[in-house]
Structure formats: C-alpha cells, structure tokens
Chain A
Amino acid sequence: MTGRSMMVNVQLLGYLAKYSPTQKETFRLELEPEATIGGLLEKIDLPPDLEKMVLVNGHRSNEATRLADGDEVFIFSPAAGG
C-alpha cells in the first residue's frame, strides 16, 4: 500500500501552521492514492468550520478536489486581509 501512496507539498499560512504535523508552515504529507482535499484537511485536523481558501497548484479548489502525487497545496484564511 505504501508503495502506491503519494506525497503532496503543503503550506499552511501564518497561524494555521499550528495544524502542521511539523509545526512549520511548509511540510510534505503522505496520502492514500486518489485522496481529496477533504481527506487532507481531516488528516491534519483542521477545524471544519474554519474559514479557509485552498489552492492546488495555484488553482482554487474545494474539498472534493482530487490530489495527485507532487501537488502543491496552499491553505490560508481569508482573514489575511486584515
């Protein structure tokens, strides 16, 4: 199974880094093949009611978005504006 798993690169902006497994903003995460953003969020325990935006390879995505090996995932809170 691990042979078929995939790795994605994740950045959790600012204070969201507290949900990072390494406590750092950027980290690599191993996921099951064909995992979705929803699965990723669950794996890192990001509270579901937290207002957030997710970009996958620069494109706005939602929880149903399917991930592929090597994807760049960027998660931030729109509260960033002030």
Chain B
Amino acid sequence: MYGWRGKILRVDLTTRELKEENLDMKAARNYIGGRGLGIYYLNREVDPQCDPLSPENMMVLATGPLTGTSAPTAARYMVMTKGPLTGALTCSNSGGQFPKELKRTGFDALLITGKAAEPIYLWIDKGRAELRGAGHLWGKTVPETHEKLLGETDSRARVACIGPSGEKRVLFAAIMNDKHRAAGRSGVGAVMGSKNLKAIVVRGESLVPIADKDRFKEVQDRVMTKFRNAAKAAPSPLSQHGTIGVMTPLTQKSGVFPTKNFLQGTFSGWEAISGQTLTAKYLQKTVACWSCPVACGRYTKIEEPGFEGEGEGPEYETGFALGAMCMVDNLAAITKANYICNDLGLDTISMGVTISCAMELFDKGYITEKQAGGPVKWGDAKRMVELVRLTGYREGFGDQLAEGSYRLAERYGHPELAMVSKKLEMPGYDPRGLQAQGLNYATTPIGASHCRAHMGYCEMVGFPKPVDPHEWKGKARLVKLWQDVFSLIDSAGLCIFFSSRNLLRQELEFHPDGILEYLNAVTGAEYSLDELVKAGERILNAERMFLIKAGFSSKDDTLPRRMTHEPLTEGPAKGRVSHLPEMLEEYYRERGWTPEGIPTESKLKELGIK
C-alpha cells in the first residue's frame, strides 16, 4: 500500500468501542482522500437530516494520500461533518504538524460517532488507540489542554482539541491543532464538544510509503526548482508579510475590502491593520506548516497595555473580520482578539462578522444598550476584544453572539443584516466587486467560503490569467471548474496557496497536472488526468447530494440582499451589485443540475454516485 495507509479507525464514543477497518480502496480511488473520503463516508452512514449536535452525527477526520509526504504543502487534513451553524455540510481544513502525525499513526481517517458519558480524549500511539478520561481538561483553554496532554502522553505527540467554546457549543467553534492552527469554519468544534470529546492526540512513527521514489524525486526536483527560481525573481509577499500583507492592500485597492458589515468596500484605516504594519511592529518570526516552502504563518507578540500576549496570527481574514468589519483600526486589539479566538477555539471570520452585525443592529437602534449589556459601537476596539471573550465562554451578550450572525439578526427582526450564505459568514472579498467569488460563496457545499474555490485569484490577483472582476457572463463555467479542482487539492492533502500556483496548469481552465504527477508517483494508482478531473466533479456532486437530502436546494444558494440590491457607494467597485441570479442559471446548466439546483439522474450515473 502506497500513499494511503489502508486503514481507518472507527470510534463509537457511546459504547467506547474502537474498531480498525480496512479502507475501502475503491472509494479511495474514486474519492482520493481527505475531503473526498469524508463525503463518501458521510453519505453512506449519516442521516443528512440529523441534528448536527446529536450523537447520530459523525465526524470524519481525514488526511489525503499526499499528506505527510515531502510534497510541497502536503500538510493538510479535513474535518467533515454536518455543521451546527449551517445545517449543511462542513469541510473544515487545517495544516500545521498534526495532520502529518495522524497519517503516521497508520490511519487514513478517523470516523467518530456517538457521545461519551463523560469528557474523554482519544490517544493514538503509533497504531494503538485508546480512550482516556478528560474530566481534568474540561474548561481548559487550548494552550492549557495542549501542554497537559503532551505531559501525560508523549512530548513529541501532536494535539487537536477544542477549547471552552467547543464545550459550550458556540456554533462557530473551531478544532485547534498545534495550538494555533484551526479547522475553523461552520462549528466543527461544537460537534466535537457535543460528543464530549475534548481532544485527539496522535503520535506516529511510520513514514508514508512512496510507490515510485525515483519518479517522486524527479517531480519534486522539477517543481521545487521552478518554485525557487520564481521566488528568486519575485519572492512571494506571502512569505514576507503573510496573507494579511498580500490581501489587505489588494482588496482595499480593488474596492472589495468588506468594511462596516459590507456597507463599504474600502476602509480608511487599512494601512494600520495591514501585514506591512504587522511585520514592522509585532512580527517575531514566520511559521511554516509541514513541508511548506512558503511559510505564510506569523508568530507575533503584543506589548500594548490591555492587549498583551503572543501567539500566531492574524491572517488576512482575521484582520478583515475583527478589523475593517468592526471599523477597528487598532492592530494590537485585532491581534489580541485573534489570540483569544485561538485560546478558546473560535473561528475568527464568523466571530468578527457576527460582532460587525451586532454593531450595525446597535447603530440602527434594533438592539438596545440594555439588551447588549452595554454599547456596541463601530470602532470600539476594547469592546470588540471583550465581546470575543464573552462569546467564547457564552457569557452575557456573548451567549447571543455565539449563535452567529444569522440567528442574532433574526432574533432582532432583521435577518437581512446577516452577511451570510447558508448562514455561514462571508469571508473578506465583496461579491459586488468580484462576480465569480459571489457565485462561489452561494454555491459551495458549506456556505460562504473562500477556500472551496478562490475566484479572487483570477478576478483580483490576476493568476493564472486576469479576468474582468465586474463581468458576470461566462463566470459560471469557471466557478464550476475551479470548485472541482479545489476539491482535488483538499482531497489530496495539499494547501490551496501553493497548489493553485504551482501544481495546476496555469490556464483559466485549471487542470490538475501537478497533482496528478504527485499522486501517481506516491500512490502508484496511475490515474489519468480525465479520471482525476472527474473525481473532482464527483466529490462536488456527492456533497451536493448530502445537502439536497438535508433539505437544501436553489432556494438556499443565496447571498445577502445587500449584495444584490444595495450597490457599493464608494471605491473602484462603486455602483456595482452581484449578478447572482443570472450567474446561478448558467451555473446549474454547467453542472448538469435542474433549475432547482438538484443533480440529475444522468449526472449522478455519469459520476458513479448512488
């Protein structure tokens, strides 16, 4: 067995039964791994209509066949489950060192069901798994949990755990690994908390076997030489200033930097919260995930009174959500709020966007000072930080914020002020100035995500080729192709940053040539390019079927009314709205779905989905 380990571990927390099983190799070939394997098992074993926080829901933690090899950025794993924030599917991805270590235990995936009677953690030492009591860890923050677990297992082990937010089922709680990395979106941490599962600790020893080492070395040498030469000519600003240093100026200059709950597309305080300022004032060192030549991670330290701390972050999304969206131009406060999110286990995007929603509700008089336990004013940095802590522990007004933007806005009679798609908060790219990105938000299987395809690459950054960000015609085809190919990146175990630039054919119609080369060298499975492209489409359609069975359809492929009816009033995208309805029609046609957004029988048959 090469690439894949050929084994999965089933964990029933209710009965405390642990069971090793062979990986279904036909499924592995057709669904690759990671995200693909996740949906394969969810579709077979989970009722899509189940309560996401009930014992019936299953969490799949899956690596890809490349995870843990020395292929560049082969550091990723995926958490798949039914999400409590959206009621839809989640696929929440993370890097760091934990995924590589999980792979080295000899398991491709963990399938976790049920609910433990008491807090518990899973310890996998090489190939041997056991459940241990976690009563002494309940209530502990992520760093505290991390340190204690290393002390009682193995100092070289790697930890993925929840903080108090997951325990208290904050609907956008994250699963944190390696202290600072987050499987952040859609509340995977709340699902883990609902199962009384505090942590998963892994220690592996067996390297991932490679089918053809000479071939792997040849591909590796070629890809890395090309990357290093390109980096010599124009080193990636991602390495120098992180995602926050690349995307903040780019979105700001393009007028798509969501500000003030998407009332604006530019932020006057953008320079103060950009990565360049972070580098100058707070950066201690850069941080790389396993086998990553980019190192976009930032280790920072803040000494400003009231905001002291150190840790990883912020990334671009955090700066946008806790900064521009809340009109906070204080980078020390944003970074502090980021540390709290990491310590308590919260998704920074949903957190910031939800506070921003509360600020607009307060500004318009829909929430009173009494209801919010005090004023919630635009730009109040100290209050923003306080609200993050309150949310993490579900205290005071934080208990309402813990339900996310949609439920908060609905509670006060104004759901239209929630900047969400499928109840998942939109990331930091305004769909009114990036048409394809908006269509992508409305159609990914998890709700508004910039990671299930990132159309900002062609619409804003200009690679692999620039396209007009304001044109909507013809975008549906691109979104379909990109979503399919991004699902392959996620399923192989790679990072979208490096892969999209270095492992895909640099044409607008992305083809996964580089992923194909790595997969074949590592697994020996001899995929053809067509087979791989088809696998990407299969994964997307299998995910869509989960949604359809959960009750979703075209009625849920939406953007907030603000995106389609309220033009931006300033900046380069002034006067623009999203043309989502027109693009959706094209999109369903491109996908071979009905006008209601349902995959047809013939499409499912073509892809071999039962």
Contact = CB atoms under 8 A, between A and B. Distances in A.
B457 interface: yes
A59 B499 CA distance: 27
Interface in A22-62: 25, 47, 50-51, 53, 55, 57-60
Given A14-B237, A14-B246, A79 B253 contact: no
A13 B249 contact: yes
Contacts, number: 85
B500 A81 contact: yes
B466 interface: yes
A52 to B, nearest CB: 8
A68 interface: no
B436 to A, nearest CB: 15
B466 A80 contact: no
Given A58-B571, A81-B497, A72 B253 contact: yes
Interface string B479-500: 0000000000000000111111
A80 B253 contact: no
B270 to A, nearest CB: 11
A28 to B, nearest CB: 15
A81 B253 contact: no
Interface string B251-265: 001110000000000
Contacts of B235: 14-15, 79
B571 A13 contact: no
A71 B294 CA distance: 33
Contact of B234 (A51, A59, A82): A51
Contact of A13 (B246, B495, B498): B246
Contacts of B466: 53, 60
B234 A79 contact: yes
Contacts of A15: 234-235, 237, 240
A25 B294 CA distance: 21
B462 A78 contact: yes
Nearest to A15: B235
Contacts of A51: 234
A60 B457 CA distance: 14
B500 A74 contact: no
Q: Taking each of A14, A59, A72, which has the highest tally of chain B beta carbons within 10 Å of its own beta carbon? A: A14
Contact of B501 (A53, A60, A81): A81
B233 interface: yes
Contacts of B496: 82
Interface residues of A, number: 24
Interface in B548-582: 571-573
Contact of B463 (A25, A47, A81): A81
B253 A82 contact: no
A77 B466 CA distance: 12
Interface in B212-262: 230-231, 233-238, 240-241, 245-246, 249-250, 253-255
B276 interface: yes
Nearest to B571: A58
Nearest to A24: B276
Nearest to B274: A25
Given A14-B241, A14-B246, A58 B255 contact: yes
B70 interface: no
Given A60-B466, A78-B462, A55 B254 contact: yes
Contacts of B240: 14-15
A52 B502 CA distance: 17
Contact of B294 (A13, A16, A82): A82
B461 interface: yes
A54 B253 CA distance: 11
B572 A80 contact: no
Contacts of B462: 53, 60, 78
Q: Taking each of A11, A15, A80, which has the highest tally of chain B beta carbons within 10 Å of its own beta carbon? A: A80
A13 B237 contact: yes
B255 A82 contact: no
Contacts of B246: 13-14, 76, 80
A76 B247 CA distance: 11
Nearest to B574: A58
A74 B253 contact: yes
A6 to B, nearest CB: 20
Interface string A1-16: 0000000000101111
Contacts of A78: 461-463
B334 to A, nearest CB: 20
B230 A82 contact: no
Contacts of A82: 236, 238, 294, 495-502
Nearest to B233: A50
A55 B253 contact: yes
Considering the complex of A and B, which 5 residue pairs feature the smallest CB-CB distances, nearest first? Answer: A14-B237, A58-B572, A82-B497, A78-B463, A77-B234
17 contacts: A13-B245, A25-B276, A50-B233, A55-B253, A58-B254, A58-B255, A58-B572, A77-B234, A77-B237, A79-B236, A80-B246, A81-B463, A81-B500, A82-B236, A82-B294, A82-B495, A82-B497
Interface of A: 11, 13-16, 25, 47, 50-51, 53, 55, 57-60, 72, 74, 76-82
